[in-house]
Amino acid sequence: MDTSSTTVTRTEHFGTLGDGTAVHRWTLERGGTRVRVLTYGAIVQSVEVPDRDGAVAPVALGLPDLASYLRYTGPYFGALVGRYANRIGGAAFALDGRTHHLTRNEGRNHVHGGATGFDKRVWDTREVPGGVEMSLVSADGEEGFPGRLEVTVAYTLDEDGALRIGYRATTDAPTVVNLTNHTYWNLAGADSGSALGQRLRIAAGRITPADGESLPTGEFLAVAGTRFDFREPRPVSKEFDHNFVLDEALEGPVAELYDEVSGRVLTVTTTEPGMQLYTADHFDGRPFGPCAGIALETQHFPDSPNRPEFPSTVLRPGEAYVSTTVYGFGVR
């Protein structure tokens, strides 16, 4: 694929952390898409695309400055989430006969990498064909996880302006890995209010039902006849924070979001087996109101380290964790 026509610019110094570490912002432009990413948290700060009339607007929820990202950490706006995205029950798991105790940062459970996950780290960054590659090292024992993990993520724009996110990780000891991007999408515009009513299709015949702690019960629930059936496009409604089991051997996008007013279309293609649909019902107006964006987090399933019936998230020395998700943009 020819990626040489992507314009890549480290446009500015974005801010400085309390320890003096500088944060920068990079801008990628191609095929009518402009994406801005931060070295802090490998955050996708902004995605701008045209509507059916050619009017360009941001469609990803982002914050204006570093201070805002340091203040509003809970929503993980646009961040790369790891070492383990979503939840691990009891903040512990057993691997090869040894129990590993993790940081508890959601009641008794571990969520999204812990107190200082990958979303709160400054990533080393270099330009690569078509975009930027960010990297970091997660030390053995960090947040309780075993193994020294070397991680890279590449943000590139395809020739049609699609945002391609490619993850890779290796370890020196057996561990678990589950990475995702936590961008919230609102195709009517990031400042347009609620995203509810935009039409969503998900190629998933099942979900993994969750209990009151948002942990999977271990069952698989067929979506037919339930509010979880998005196999045909339907408007998004409130109160979704669920993992969808994506249909296997599917060619093409696993999900599509469409805004009838602007005509914008978002497609999601991924190598991952699951996707978390989160409608952000609990946003309180600081800085966004309820349901201001829809998160489509491609992932392995929640609590997989404690659920042998789920696809494995174990990574061993000599192996590589490799995952790709592509967010495509268009109009109709």
Instruction: Catalogue the active-site residues.
Output: 182, 297
Tell me if residue 149 falls in helix, strand or coil: strand
Give the C-alpha separation, 17 to 20, whole Å: 5
Helix (H) or strand (E) holding 67: helix 66-71
Q: Which residues contact 154 (CB under 8 A, 6 or more apart)?
A: 128, 131, 132, 133, 134, 164, 165, 166
Take residue 74 and report the two structure tokens written for it. Answer: 């809970």
Helix (H) or strand (E) holding 216: none
Take residue 129 and report the two structure tokens written for it. Answer: 């064909």
Give backbone dihedrals phi and psi of 268, rounded to 5 degrees, phi first.
Answer: -125, 125
Which residue's structure tokens are 């609102």?
186
Tell me if residue 117 falls in helix, strand or coil: coil
